[in-house]
Structure 1
Amino acid sequence: MVKPIILITMGDPAGSGPEIILKALSHPELQGIARYVIVGDLKVLMRAKEVVNARKLSLTVVSDPEEVSDELFSVGVIDLGNVDIEKLVYGRPSVMGGKTSYEYIVTAVNLIKSGKGHALVTAPISKESLYLAGYDYPGHTELLAELAGVDVVKMMLVFKHLRVSHVTTHVSLRRAIELVRKDNIYLTIRLTHEALTKLFGIDNPKIGVAGLNPHASEGGLFGDEEEKEIIPAIKLALREGIRVEGPYPPDTIFYRAYHDREFDAVIAMYHDQGHIPIKMIGLLEGVNLTLGLPFIRTSPDHGTVWDKAGKGTAKETAMLEAIKLAITLARGKT
């Protein structure tokens, strides 16, 4: 079996990204199953290597991901050399942090679009740093969509067998309600179905759809979005042969998906509706998978962990799971 090349962006250099990457790559279970290339700054990575005591790892600068060694604990580095290490202050957003993390993403996307990698894993960036550097993106997902040349992407969070796709994400609750529309819901269902079949290899997956209102509106008593928007979207998906049910009350559907394994994925209407159940049971292990991109992209479902940056104490569990999921999905593509 071909060992997939996993590209990993370093994230904001002032955050915990460099440390959790190296801690994750030090795990024996990742050895011999893939090849790893970090797109970042070697100086920052070498400092992080000392902080986390990642003695096993060998970091080698490469100009092409395909040059990376197949030896255990060997990691390639595409070194952009764009961090002024003397001015690096851990735990704070900055212009430098936004500029450099943006450049890592652009470089990695260009590499994977040119066939130089099988999957992309992104370490956390700071939205504030991006804004300070002049980049007007709500987060990774929107930036990746622009770089990939696609109009619509959706966020799926994964923890073990619980998969939750979101109709809306980084908008106000008021705006999220406005965006709960038939076409948007249907698109989320379709992209979820495609991911379950093509990436996860699930035959005839079953998708459950959460309502927007309490009790999924209880027949119209608590709102009409279910009747006007959600049900028509479900009917459209059913006509296309997608196995989908709902809308079901949001306060029980996630339990049914996780504990009863009734659904292969759940469609959440807005950010917190989908994030809370994932983080309640998998805060340190949840993975973000972007749907709709022409390549595989995963990331840990947490931020920069500013308060632990530079200390080596940030947990690498979610990064480890993000890399493992990327490898699993990439194997189906290699």
Structure 2
Amino acid sequence: MNRDYGAELDALKAQMAELERLVRSMAGAEVKSAEAGTADNRQKELLVQGGGGEAGAMYFSGYYRSGEQTVRCEPQEKASRELLGLNRGKAAKVLAALGHKQRLDLLLELWDEALTGAELVERLNMGTTGQLYHHLKALTGADLLVQEERGGRYTIPSHRRFSILLLLSAMSDLIDTSDYIAMTEARDEAHSYLGASSKEGYDLHQLLWAVVNNSLEEHEAGYCSEVGIYLHDDGSATVADNGRGIPTRLLPQTGQPTVQSILTKMDMFSHSASSFVAPGAEKGIGIAVVNALSHSLSVEIRRDGGIYRQEYRHGIPRSGLMTVGETNDTGTSVTFKPEQELFAGRFDKAKIEARAAELREAYPGLRIRIQ
């Protein structure tokens, strides 16, 4: 009897493929891969499946390996109604236990290595053992830490590790919201950045000077010889230069483009000596402050052979960093429209011309044009 090994192998492959599909379906692990122009050309996609009313569920599974220890979580399902119906008081206490920075420091320091209290004090530079043990007591009482014996080393119990990882995973998708909260607070405290206001509102030219200041820094560094200021009919303004262009590479800590961090992290330039300081203001105005106090902002970057663009609304990205063309030029163009609830009137070309004349005198090698 002759056997068709090729046909048998094909049938076996088909069976294995069907088995893999069923396993993935049971675990809720359908994943789509797409070209996204990122460093590894992959983009996470949220798979939304239809359902009636408020029905829905979260599926999760996974494992974590540290040295010889492996923590494995079998596939689980939790209904959305069950999650949304958690005891809110108790849920808040759990988040509060992990939400304290020093407690989170302790958990992450103990993740891969058991340590004594003295070792933790030294590593975290906490100053006093009393301060440390206050947090250790809270974490051990919550069953998030265990001590080997009295005076011994602390470690994270195995049965809690996956839940902590799952919570940190969710936090990684929410971590940029801390920047957006800071930007919202900046609008409430605009006086600290803009100084005194008139009855109509703050002077919107302060934002323009702050954006121009970035181009001046590029000129002082030897990379920018031209700055263009363009006033638009809709009340917005554009500042364009031929500097190096804001960096676009992805930051390993956040997975975000550098330009997004620059435009959303309020403290990145606000306290630096090079930031623009408005008369009577307590804090300097960096480009992130301009973004926070604008109704809309878009940035276009020319560098590394490409043209990149990103849009913002009230400081929050409305798009990822998009590649929109190719060029051998370099530079940055920032277009922003001040928030009308904060600022009075429109840009005054005569005032801008006067400021440009001062800058031309201070920077004779810099060409400044206004349109």
Structure-2-length-normalised TM-score = 0.24
Structure of higher RCO (CA pairs closer than 8 Å, 6+ residues apart): 1
The structure having more radius of gyration, on CA atoms, is 2
Higher fraction of helix: 1
Q: If the length of structure 1 is used for normalisation, what is the TM-score?
A: 0.26
